[in-house]
């Protein structure tokens, strides 16, 4: 029997606000869409937490035997500043400031994003479509919404008519926002505005003469609104109704609310049966934000160069730290909390190393009490993960298991008190939940000595090359190391240090 039949998943559905039993659209399959990054600036730790949440979700479904199709997009056009319908495109702005082509920004930031997620041992999605790769489909759905009387064109731009939609459907179904209140708050429309109502949102925007990213459409040259890409890419790859739609809590409104309105308006179906939202990361109790100066880049965290840290922490320690909280709770990030996480994680990893070496001796003086206790721990792992992916409680069970493992290792508990089948199941469960379900691997500390040695050899070679005025070679060594995440720093006296990103 498949594991998923034995351990049905319950998950908190933002659409109903209730914890519900998961029922897939297709038996044994999970279709999940997660809003990916807008690739205009380096991924910070708050984003890492969101993607970690859905890494865990996809891992657990896969572990239970589901066939998973996980789609996560790349937003490379249409996301305007302040998440609004006016202002500059975030990517175009970055490109202008750095004097790059927008697609150069997109490539550079996307590669950095993938690199960081790999460092955190996240499994890539099955499909990673980009907004610019789906312009044709976006134009098609906008045409459909106009035909359905739910969108209107003004001056080369097209807007979604929220009030019209709300006559037959419910705008606010996900976020709980009330139309009347939204209509009252903020500034009023003036004669300059193209929208019929202030809560209408852009599906397609006319490009100004200076706008670089532009495509031909039935309404003239322009570019898509931010929300429409996700409606198109989720339903294209997963069907008009799919299982799970995920994203950060900050996307619930307006982004996800608009996605629902677009999909229901076009297809007359709810796009996703379950909506999952991952909560925020705070720093010493404050929301993480660039303007407060408390946002962290993963590289600063690993190197320990951020002002709020007294040392660097490895990506697995940080992964463990984040999993100590349930995805729906806020998580506070502090030096002390990381310090404690480092110790806790070591305990689990030591037990992992130990149990891999333990083999059941075969002989038997069975003690039912010990055997039953181990069986309960095994069950608890599945029960906690199946209960809304509760990684915090699962880790608590793994700590109990690690104490047992230490007893086996020290001889406090003799293995021949346990029946062989239960021991092997216990061993396999501990290893699988650590490595496959939670994705926690040993930090690669043991290689540090070797790595340092090799880098120092290269630094010496580069010095020699510079002395010989072979700058092509010295630059190549520097650039190749940088690609691998090792940044060389030229000192005043010619000595060179390095930072591993």
- Min. distance of Cβ 231 from Zn ion in angstroms? 8
* Phi, then psi, of 66 in degrees rounded to 5: -70, 150
User: Nearest-CA neighbor of 270 among 224, 227, 234?
Assistant: 234
Q: Is the dihedral of CA 431, 387, 389, 261 positive or negative?
A: positive
Q: Choose the binding region for Zn ion from 27-35, 62-70, 289-297, 381-389 (rule: CB under 5 A).
A: 27-35
Distant-in-sequence, close-in-space partners of 35: CB < 8 Å, separation ≥ 6: 72, 73, 75, 230, 246, 247, 248, 251, 255, 256
Taking residues 34 to 53 in sequence order and writing x for each that binds Zn ion by CB under 5 A, - otherwise, the string is -x------------------
Helix (H, G, I), strand (E, B) or coil at 219: coil
Select 52 or 71, whichever has its Cβ closest to Zn ion. 71
Token representation of residue 231: 């409606």
- Binding string, 73-112, against Zn ion, x = CB under 5 A? ----------------------------------------
Rg of the chain over Cα atoms, rounded to whole angstroms, equals: 26
The answer to whether 341 touches 321, Cβ cutoff 8 Å, is yes
Nearer to Zn ion, 112 or 248 (CB): 248
Closest CB to Zn ion among 35 and 341? 35
Nearer to Zn ion, 249 or 458 (CB): 249
For Zn ion, which is the closer residue by CB, 91 or 230? 230
Least distance in angstroms from the C-beta of 254 to Zn ion? 11
Q: What is the rounded CA–CA span in Å between residue 52 and residue 116?
A: 11
CB of 232 to Zn ion, least distance (A): 10
What part of residues 136-175 is at the interface with Zn ion (CB under 5 A)? none
Between residues 247 and 298, which has the closer beta carbon with respect to Zn ion? 247
Residue 234 C-beta: closest distance to Zn ion, Å: 8
Query: Hey, which residues between 393 and 422 contact Zn ion (CB under 5 A)?
Result: none
Q: Binding-site residue total for Zn ion (CB under 5 A)?
A: 2
Residues whose CB is less than 8 angstroms from the CB of residue 301 and which lie 6 or more positions away in sequence, other chains included: 45, 309, 312, 313, 318
Contacts by residues 6-11 (CB-CB < 8 Å, ≥ 24 positions apart): 6/382, 7/64, 7/382, 7/383, 7/385, 7/386, 8/386, 9/60, 9/61, 9/64, 9/386, 10/386, 10/387, 10/388, 11/244, 11/274, 11/276, 11/388, 11/389
Cβ-based nearer residue to Zn ion, 266 or 459: 266
Closer to Zn ion by Cβ: residue 246 or 439:
246
Q: Tell the smallest beta-carbon distance from residue 279 to Zn ion (Å).
A: 17
Cβ-proximal residues to 90 (8 Å cutoff; 6+ apart), any chain: 38, 40, 41, 79, 80, 81
Provide the 8-state DSSP code for 292.
Answer: T
Q: Does 131 bind Zn ion (CB under 5 A)?
A: no
Q: Supply the minimum distance, in Å, between the C-beta of residue 456 and Zn ion.
A: 46
In the complex with Zn ion, the residue whose CB is nearer, 35 or 488, is 35
- Which secondary structure element, helix H or strand E, spans residue 272, and what is its range? strand 272-278
* In the complex, minimum distance from the CB of residue 494 to Zn ion, in angstroms, rounded to a whole number: 50
Q: Provide the minimum distance between the beta carbon of 74 and Zn ion in the complex, in angstroms, as a whole number.
A: 11
For Zn ion, the binding residues in 209-248 under the rule CB under 5 A are 230
Distance CA(158)–CA(219), nearest Å, equals 8
Piece of 30-38, 100-108, 472-480, 491-499 that binds Zn ion (CB under 5 A)? 30-38
Contact range with Zn ion by CB under 5 A, out of 33-41, 337-345, 377-385, 455-463: 33-41
List residues binding Zn ion (CB under 5 A).
Answer: 35, 230
């Amino acid at each position: 029997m498949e594991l998923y039949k034995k351990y049905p998943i319950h998950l908190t559905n933002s659409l109903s606000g209730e914890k519900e039993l998961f029922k897939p659209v297709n038996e044994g399959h999970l279709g999940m869409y997660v809003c990916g990054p807008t690739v205009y600036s380096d991924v910070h730790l708050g984003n890492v937490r969101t993607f970690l949440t859905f890494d865990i979700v996809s891992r657990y479904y896969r572990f239970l035997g589901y066939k998973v199709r996980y789609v996560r997009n790349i937003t490379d056009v249409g996301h305007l500043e302040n998440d609004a319908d006016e202002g500059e495109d975030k990517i175009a702005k970055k490109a202008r400031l750095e004097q790059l082509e927008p697609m150069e920004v997109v490539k550079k930031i996307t590669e950095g994003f993938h690199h960081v997620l790999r460092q955190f041992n996240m499994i890539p999605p099955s499909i990673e479509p980009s907004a610019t790769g789906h312009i044709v489909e976006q134009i098609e759905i906008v045409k459909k919404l106009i035909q359905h009387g739910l969108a209107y064109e003004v001056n080369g731009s097209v807007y979604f008519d929220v009030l019209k939609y709300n006559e037959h459907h419910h705008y606010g179904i996900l976020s709980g926002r009330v139309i009347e209140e939204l209509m009252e708050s903020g500034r009023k429309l003036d004669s300059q505005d193209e929208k019929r109502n202030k809560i209408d949102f852009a599906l397609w925007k006319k490009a100004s003469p200076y706008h670089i990213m532009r495509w031909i459409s039935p309404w003239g040259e322009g570019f898509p609104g931010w929300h429409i890409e996700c409606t198109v890419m989720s339903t294209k790859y997963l069907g008009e109704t799919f299982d799970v739609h995920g994203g950060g809590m900050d996307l619930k409104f307006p982004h996800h609310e608009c996605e629902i309105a677009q999909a229901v308006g076009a297809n007359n179906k709810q796009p996703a049966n379950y909506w999952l939202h991952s909560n925020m990361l705070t720093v010493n109790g404050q929301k993480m934000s660039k303007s407060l100066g408390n946002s962290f880049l993963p590289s600063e965290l690993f190197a320990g160069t951020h002002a709020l840290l007294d040392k660097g922490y490895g990506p697995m320690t940080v992964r463990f730290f984040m999993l100590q909280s349930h995805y729906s709770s806020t998580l506070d990030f502090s030096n002390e909390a990381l310090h404690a996480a480092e110790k806790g994680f070591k305990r689990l990893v030591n037990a992992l190393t130990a149990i891999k070496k333990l083999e059941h001796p075969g002989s038997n003086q069975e003690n039912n009490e010990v055997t039953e206790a181990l069986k309960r721990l095994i069950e608890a792992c599945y029960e906690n993960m199946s209960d809304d992916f509760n990684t915090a409680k699962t880790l608590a069970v793994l700590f109990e298991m690690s104490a047992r493992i230490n007893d086996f290792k020290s001889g406090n508990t003799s293995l021949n008190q346990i029946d062989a089948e239960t021991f092997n199941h216990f061993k396999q469960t501990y290893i699988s939940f650590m490595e496959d379900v939670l994705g926690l691997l040993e930090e690669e500390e043991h290689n540090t000595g070797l790595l340092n040695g090799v880098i120092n050899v290269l630094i010496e070679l580069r010095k020699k090359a510079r002395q010989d005025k072979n700058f092509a070679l010295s630059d190549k060594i520097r650039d190749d190391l940088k690609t691998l995440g090792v940044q060389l720093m030229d000192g005043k006296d010619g000595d060179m240090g390095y930072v591993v990103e």
